[in-house]
Amino acid sequence: MDQNYGVAEKSFDVEKIREDFPILQQEVRPGVRLVYLDSTATSQKPKRVIETLDQYYREMNANVHRGIYQLSEQATEAYEGARKKVRAFINAASWREIVFTRNTTESINLVAATWGRTNLGPDDAILITEMEHHSNIVPWQLLAQQTGVKVVAVPVLPDGLLDMEAFDRLLRTEPIRLLAVTHMSNVLGTINPLRELVDKAHAAGALVLADAAQSVPHLPVDVQALDVDFLVFSGHKMLGPTGIGVLYGKRALLEAMPPYMGGGDMIRRVRLSGSEWNDLPYKFEAGTPSIGDGVALGAAVDYLTAVGMDRIHAYEQQITAYALDRLAEVPGLTVYGPAAQRKGGVAAFSMQGLHPHDIAQLLDAGGIAVRAGHHCAMPLHEKFGVAATARASFYLYNTFAEVDTLIEALNNVVSKFAL
Ligand code: 7TS
């Protein structure tokens, strides 16, 4: 292994971190250790998160915001405590700006259905990009069908970066009211210059929704420094459980938006003649929430904070640079996306003469879990002229040795199929 890559690994005790993740200790088949390279789809969970879920149901389970009895107060305190941890984690100005949802997808649909339906019409346009996940495309298309708003996309350049000239031009020539853009691509790994995009969008009179599903788990994100209007992410990609996600929104915007779903908890007063809405964030949280999952997301935030988001990001940049250099050694293999400095821990690739599904299956024989397919980004794959790619992704618990295992397996594939 090259000396340059080793430095960060030494200051970052990945073996100690791995001890916290029970699933990584297991063998997928007798004698074959799991090499989990699909954290972009969902991350593994540390003991602390699993134990928090377990403890919640053993010792604390009760509905929140309702009971006067002690257990319900405890559950409410734990759930609201998690909200405050999330607030601090992304540096929102107030806990009232943190709305719990199921995931990134629900958060985006919420904004489309409330802010979008109230504020957008046939004379307006929404700017997305060609590198968006389907969950940051389809809700806007649905909104377009309902309101007549136009959806326009910024092209992606062959090197995997956004075409900034086209971005500037579209802001000038289209009536853009909202920029909905991913902070980090789940296929190319591209980290977009979010603050620059926000400043330009604001100057053109547009709001910005950042899809931070891939950035919040992997790098420090400060919503005030970025000046984003909305920011969305999923708990399950940041060491937390499935079933809990976040919508951050600037308070004045959230205050002005109508509710999303109607029901319990989101109201202050209900009369048969009409109802009044609850305060933020409860106005957007109808029904019994995913309480245990929320509490465990708080534990995930604690874990990430204790390791340090800047250290996680630095380590991932090292391991990604190493992986990209090693992947370049494999004959006939193409990696999509920019160089390591501009991307997070994602390497989507194709191999000449082999379908990505076959690659994933052959790797699985060696216990290596990678995803194959369009990764919910069909327009991006179309742009690059491929139907699918194989994708390896890295998180704080992946090792340089696992990258070596991947490369060895890929080289075996090449020799076996005489590619
Ligand atoms: N946005 C981005 C950038 C994503 O990567 C994903 C999930 C989503 C939105 C949707 O998140 P969800 O939690 O609401 O499903 N990305 C992936 C992936 O790359 N492979 O599986 C899920």
Query: Ligand 1 test: best mutation among 376, 380, 393, 395, most atoms within 8 Å of CB?
Result: 376
Do 181 and 125 lie in a common domain?
Answer: yes
Do 348 and 386 lie in a common domain?
Answer: yes
Is the pTM value of this prediction over 0.95? Answer: yes
Asked whether residue 354 is domain-assigned, the answer is yes
Instruction: Give the model's pLDDT for residue 11.
Output: 75
Domain end, chosen from 253, 287, 306, is at: 306
Asked whether residue 337 is domain-assigned, the answer is yes
Do 123 and 228 lie in a common domain?
Answer: yes
- CA–centroid distance, residue 133 to ligand 1 (Å): 7
Measured in whole angstroms, how far is the alpha carbon of residue 289 from the centre of its chain? 21
Do 189 and 338 lie in a common domain?
Answer: no
Asked whether residue 40 is domain-assigned, the answer is no
Angle between helices 291-307 and 70-90 (to 10 degrees): 40
Active site residues: 376
Residue given tokens 């994933």 in the structure block: 360
CA distances from 45 to 150, 248, 297, 300, 304 (A): 40, 23, 10, 8, 11
Domain residues for 404? 3-33+309-417
Structural domain count, the chain: 2
Instruction: Give the model's pLDDT for residue 3.
Output: 46
Domain end, chosen from 265, 283, 306, is at: 306
Do 250 and 357 lie in a common domain?
Answer: no
**DSSP per residue over 127-195, as a string?**
EEETT--GGGTHHHHHHHHHH--EEEEE-B-TTSSB-HHHHHHHHHHS-EEEEEEESB-TTT-BB--HH
Do 210 and 137 lie in a common domain?
Answer: yes
Residue 389 near ligand 1, beta carbon < 6 Å = no
Do 298 and 329 lie in a common domain?
Answer: no
Do 66 and 168 lie in a common domain?
Answer: yes
Q: Residues 3-46: pLDDT tens digits? A: 466 555 557 999 999 999 999 999 999 999 999 999 999 999 99
Residue given tokens 């990696």 in the structure block: 335
Instruction: Give the model's pLDDT for residue 417.
Output: 84
Do 186 and 120 lie in a common domain?
Answer: yes
Task: Give me the CATH number covering residue 146.
Answer: 3.40.640.10
CA distance 389 to 371: 8
- CA–centroid distance, residue 376 to ligand 1 (Å): 8
Q: Which residues of the chain have pLDDT under 70?
A: 1-10, 418-419
Do 82 and 113 lie in a common domain?
Answer: yes
CA distance 265 to 242: 22
Asked whether residue 328 is domain-assigned, the answer is yes
Domain end, chosen from 306, 323, 343, is at: 306
